[in-house]
């Protein structure tokens, strides 16, 4: 597969993961492989009730806590999905959301430079 095909496959898998494990899939998703990192940006993933909750600071804090707990609880499954696609060990995963922009970023650190596989 080409780098673009792998990025697209990861985007599809993450979108499905978000729908099944986080409660809602994104409206847009983009994945980029940069050396030993996979960077995924999701847009439009918050439900209307989550957007309403995020209108004050207590709601933002609660929303971030819940989303973090959901992500952490499903992290092993996410790692297995990524490993199945790229066939490289996952070192760590990181995730954060912006309630202002409705974006979520997932960064996955790998044990190898994945871009090297595409330059051969």
- pLDDT tens-digit map of 45-55: 888 888 899 99
- pLDDT tens-digit map of 19-70: 888 778 899 999 999 999 999 999 998 888 888 999 999 999 999 999 899 8
Predicted pLDDT at 22: 76
25 within 8 A of 15, measured Cβ to Cβ = yes
What pTM did the predictor assign? 0.90
What span, in angstroms and rounded, lies between the C-alpha atoms of 23 and 8? 21
Predicted pLDDT at 27: 94
Q: Comparing C-alpha atoms, which of 16, 18, 13 is closest to residue 67?
A: 18
Going along the chain from its start, the domains and CATH numbers come out as 3-111 (3.30.980)
């Amino acid at each position: 597969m080409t780098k673009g095909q792998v990025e697209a496959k990861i985007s599809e898998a993450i979108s499905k993961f978000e729908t099944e494990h986080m409660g809602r899939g994104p409206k847009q998703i983009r994945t980029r492989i940069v050396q030993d990192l996979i960077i995924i940006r999701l847009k439009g993933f918050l439900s209307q009730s989550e957007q309403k909750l995020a209108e004050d600071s207590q709601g933002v804090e609660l929303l971030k806590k819940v989303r973090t707990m959901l992500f952490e609880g499903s992290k092993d499954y996410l790692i297995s999905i990524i490993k199945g696609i790229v066939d490289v060990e996952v070192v760590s995963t990181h995730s954060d959301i912006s309630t202002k922009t409705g974006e979520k970023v997932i960064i996955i650190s790998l044990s190898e430079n994945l871009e090297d596989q595409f330059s051969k």
